Each structure stands twice: as structure tokens, then as C-alpha cells.
């Protein structure tokens, strides 16, 4: 909840029109990003991402389960986001549920592809242990610790970092079990499989304020937005998902323009994120 006076509102809008925002950034510049991995030792993988004051934690937990009948050769991934009341008193009780649900579905759309599992950022077939019988269920939980705008991008980055931090135990299947019996399995404590996260897209939210659009809006800037488009782009510059939020309508040509801008920005963001993740992982290894 941001209470801004008329003068402050004009100041923000005027700054964006002149390509100089309140914190000195240009329209298409991100706030500093910091990544910390392995923050939740009990999870298979976890990461904490800070973008300016926005602070989120993502964790990945893997459990053995049964694949769905329709996709016997694919594992299951689900994303849940929780808005902690520490982030804003308004999230107390059930207050954060609506935002949590909106963020969860937006992230599922952007990262997991369609219902069939096609176009997912993660290789779902790598989660299968035995076709049609056993697979890994990945539970991705996000927690918003503090919100200062641009939650979707931060959560997307945190999930990407958490996935690259994730180790799935290797499962040995006892040979010779007949096909209709429950197979005997042995979950290894020592061997872990790492994910290939190079295909996981990043999410770029372009927030339209006045005639222009900006990336990585703070909560003050978000309060002035007319509409926002979140585009997830992977390393190959392919679009993996689009979500539009906000009340005002957008001209189709502007959307296409936004997409090409997002593709351009994504490259810098992916490189920045990858180097942050790599240095966080390296720091982690030194400690242990």
C-alpha cells in the first residue's frame, strides 16, 4: 500500500517520461541483484534473491510419487507462492491469498508451459524413475519476505537459482522385479543429480506508466502503472509465456514492441543472473 501525494505522483511520472527514475536508473535498467543459494538446508535446493529492497526465498523439495496417467513419462512440478505478513501488514491472515494465487499461476504459466508439459523450462522427462510408476514430484515454494515491487521477476530469478542449486538423489531400481509388482528402489544418500537449468526462462515485467514502459518497477512506480506485461524469455530468446496484468488496455503493436524489448533485456538479465548464481554456488562450496 503506497500513499503518494499528487506532487509525488507527477514526479514519478515525469521522471519516467524523461528516462531518469527516482533512484537514478534508466527505464530499462534493473536494480542490483544479489543471489544467495543453499539458505534452507532442509530443502533439496534453495535460494534467496534480493532485487533492491524486494526480498524473496525459493525452495525446491523433491518427493517420490506416481506420474499422472496421461503423461506416464513425465514428472510433476508444482509452484506455490506464499506472501509472508512480514512483507506488508496487509498480508495478515488471508490478506495475501489473492496475490499469492495470482503470482503462483503466473509463474506456472511462465515456467512450466502448457498442461501437457510441453514447453516447460525444466526437462520433465528427467524426473521419471520408472515409466508410469515412479517419478519425482518437485514442489517449488516461494516466500515473499519483503515486497518492493517486481515480485514476479524476483520470484522467477529465485526459482531459477534454487533449481540450479537443487540436487535430486539418484535412485537405484532393483533389477529383475516383474512388471506388475511394486518395484524395489533404493534412494542414494550420496549421489545427486543436478538439473540443467540453462533452459529455464527469466521473467521480465514491463510496467507501463504514462506513455513509456519500464523494467523492475518499485512499489511506488507500480502504484502509477496503467498495465503491466510479464514475458518469460529463455536463453534462445524464445518467448515461453506472457501474462498481462492491470486494468488498462494495450495497443497490440505496443505489445509486440514490448516483446522485442523484453528479448533484448533478457540477455543482460540472464547473463547477470548466471554469474550471480555461479558466484553464490562457488561461495557455498568454499564454506562447506
Partner 1 sequence: MEYVSPEGLRLDGRRPMEMRQIRAEIGAVSKADGSAVFEMGNTKVIAAVYGPRQVQNKSQQMNDQALVRCEYSMANFSTGDRMRKPKGDRRSTEISLVIRQTMEASILTHLMPHSQIDIFVQVLQADGGTRSACINAATLALADAGIPMRDLVTSCSAGYLNSTPLLDLNYVEDSAGGADVTLGILPKLDKVTLLQMDSKLPIDILENVMQLAIEGCKAVANYIREILLENTKQLEFRRGV
Which residues of this protein are in contact with partner 1, per CB under 8 A? 39-43, 46, 53, 55, 57, 59, 61, 63, 80, 82, 84-87, 89, 92-94, 97, 139, 141, 143, 145-146, 148
To partner 1, the closest distance from the beta carbon of 86 in angstroms equals: 4
Using an 8 Å Cβ cutoff, are 243 and 106 in contact?
yes
Give whichever of 47 and 229 is closer to partner 1, judged by the CB atom. Answer: 47
To partner 1, the closest distance from the beta carbon of 82 in angstroms equals: 6
Give whichever of 46 and 205 is closer to partner 1, judged by the CB atom. Answer: 46
Which of 187, 183, 163, 165 has the alpha carbon at shortest distance from 175? Answer: 183
To partner 1, the closest distance from the beta carbon of 7 in angstroms equals: 21
Give whichever of 58 and 240 is closer to partner 1, judged by the CB atom. Answer: 58
To partner 1, the closest distance from the beta carbon of 238 in angstroms equals: 30
Cα 159 from Cα 96, distance rounded (Å): 20
To partner 1, the closest distance from the beta carbon of 22 in angstroms equals: 15
To partner 1, the closest distance from the beta carbon of 45 in angstroms equals: 10
- CA triplet 24, 29, 35: central angle to 5 degrees? 105
Give whichever of 39 and 173 is closer to partner 1, judged by the CB atom. Answer: 39
Cα 169 from Cα 110, distance rounded (Å): 27
Cα 223 from Cα 8, distance rounded (Å): 11
Q: What share of the chain is helix, strand, coil (3-state, %, to 5)?
A: 30, 30, 35
Q: Phi, psi at residue 8, to the nearest 5°?
A: -65, -40
Report the half-sphere exposure of 183 (CA within 13 A, side-chain side). Answer: 22
**199 in the Ramachandran plot: left (φ > 0), alpha (ψ -120 to 50) or beta?**
alpha
Cα 61 from Cα 89, distance rounded (Å): 28
Residue ranges of alpha helices (H) inside the chain are: 6-17, 97-112, 151-165, 219-222, 252-287
Give whichever of 42 and 253 is closer to partner 1, judged by the CB atom. Answer: 42
Give whichever of 81 and 231 is closer to partner 1, judged by the CB atom. Answer: 81
To partner 1, the closest distance from the beta carbon of 177 in angstroms equals: 27
Give whichever of 113 and 142 is closer to partner 1, judged by the CB atom. Answer: 142
Amino acid at each position: 500500500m503506497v500513499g503518494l501525494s499528487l506532487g509525488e505522483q507527477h514526479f514519478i511520472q515525469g521522471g519516467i517520461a524523461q528516462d531518469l527514475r527516482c533512484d537514478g536508473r534508466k527505464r530499462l535498467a534493473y536494480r542490483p541483484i544479489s543471489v544467495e543459494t543453499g539458505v534452507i538446508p532442509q530443502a533439496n535446493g534453495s535460494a534467496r534473491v534480493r532485487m533492491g529492497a524486494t526480498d524473496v526465498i525459493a525452495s525446491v523439495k523433491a518427493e517420490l510419487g506416481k506420474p499422472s496417467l496421461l503423461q506416464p513419462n513425465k514428472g510433476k512440478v508444482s509452484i506455490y507462492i506464499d506472501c509472508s505478513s512480514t512483507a506488508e501488514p496487509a498480508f495478515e491472515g488471508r490478506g495475501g491469498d489473492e496475490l499469492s494465487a495470482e503470482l503462483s499461476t503466473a509463474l506456472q504459466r511462465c515456467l512450466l508451459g502448457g498442461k501437457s508439459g510441453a514447453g516447460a523450462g525444466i526437462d520433465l522427462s528427467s524426473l521419471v524413475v520408472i515409466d508410469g510408476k515412479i517419478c519425482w514430484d518437485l514442489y517449488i515454494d516461494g516466500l515473499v519476505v519483503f515486497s518492493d515491487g517486481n515480485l514476479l521477476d524476483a520470484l522467477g530469478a529465485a526459482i531459477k537459482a534454487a533449481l540450479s542449486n537443487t540436487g535430486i538423489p539418484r535412485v537405484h531400481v532393483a533389477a529383475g522385479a516383474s512388471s506388475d509388482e511394486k518395484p524395489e528402489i533404493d534412494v542414494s544418500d550420496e549421489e545427486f543429480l543436478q538439473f540443467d537449468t540453462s533452459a529455464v526462462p527469466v521473467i521480465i515485467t514491463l510496467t507501463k506508466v504514462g506513455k513509456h514502459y519500464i523494467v523492475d518497477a518499485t512499489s511506488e512506480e507500480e502504484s502509477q502503472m496503467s498495465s503491466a506485461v510479464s514475458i518469460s524469455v529463455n536463453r534462445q530468446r524464445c518467448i515461453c509465456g506472457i501474462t498481462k496484468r492491470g486494468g488498462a488496455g494495450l495497443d497490440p503493436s505496443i505489445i509486440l514492441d514490448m516483446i522485442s524489448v523484453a528479448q533484448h533485456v533478457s540477455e543482460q538479465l540472464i547473463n547477470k543472473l548466471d554469474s550471480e548464481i555461479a558466484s553464490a554456488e562457488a561461495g557455498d562450496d568454499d564454506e562447506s
